[in-house]
Amino acid sequence: MQTLRECTCDISVIVPVYNLERFLLPLLTTLINQDLGDYKAEYIFVLNNCTDDSEGMIRVSGLPGQILQCTQQGCGPARNVGFDAASGRYIWFMDGDDWLLSDTAIKQVLDKAYAEDANILWIPFASENYKYNYFSMVWQYLLRRDFVAEFRFPAIQPAEDDAYMRQVLRKAGRNEQNYWTLPRVDRPLYFYNYMREGSNMYRCLVKHEQI
């Protein structure tokens, strides 16, 4: 198992980015506006062969953290690069086309995680077009970094989250049927921008319809 970096902040927000210039503003805005209280956060954006100005948007935001590069295609490898660079006690993997629903979302999840001494915290989400709960959506979990230290995302698309979260939930004594029994915050704090054009899910379904 790779040696973890020393904890220097409470949370590392890790965001894989592939040509999201048109979609990043809501997430960047809600991250900039976060009231963290006494907590410290770092924001790690991992550029995945971008050909647009996603990097420029992130730099202009002024968010504290790192902008890294991942040449291996896919969210899984990009998240792994971000994890290896992280120094937070907790990890929150977010998608660059989603956003937070409260200016205290990060503070709320950390308050609950520290109060519960949680290895995993379940974070309810909202969405206009997606009405189901599915165990492997990695952005609906706050993960304690040392608890998931041995796990990495596979280099597959889509469904890289499935293999990763099965391992994490198994270590936590849960599975795909009872993950919702984990400690949780009381209300949705994350917005899932389901099926925006160009997303992995969109490309997968379009390809399926064309077969």
Domain range for 66? 9-210
Selection from 117, 145, 182, 160 nearest residue 13 by Cα: 145
Report CA dihedral (59, 139, 182, 121) to the nearest 10 degrees. Answer: 0
Residue 196 lies in a domain: yes
**Within a domain: residue 38?**
yes
3 inside domain: no
What lies within 8 Å, CB to CB, of 87 at 6+ separation is 5, 6, 7, 8, 9, 12, 42
17 in any annotated domain: yes
For CA atoms 6, 67, 18, 58, give the dihedral sign: positive
**Per the domain annotation, does 166 fall within a domain?**
yes
Give yes or no for a contact between 105 and 189, defined as CB atoms under 8 angstroms apart.
yes
Q: Is residue 2 part of a domain?
A: no
Kindly give the confidence (pLDDT) of every residue in the chain, 211 residues in length, as a single tens digit, with 9 standing for 90 and above.
567 889 999 999 999 999 999 999 999 999 999 999 999 999 999 999 999 999 999 999 999 999 999 999 899 999 999 999 999 999 999 999 999 999 999 999 999 999 999 999 999 999 998 878 889 999 999 999 999 999 999 987 777 899 999 999 999 999 999 999 999 999 999 999 986 555 444 333 333 233 3
Number of independent structural domains in the chain: 1
Establish if 175 belongs to a structural domain.
yes
The domain spanning residue 130 has which CATH number? 3.90.550.10
CA torsion 199-22-95-187 (nearest 10°) is -110
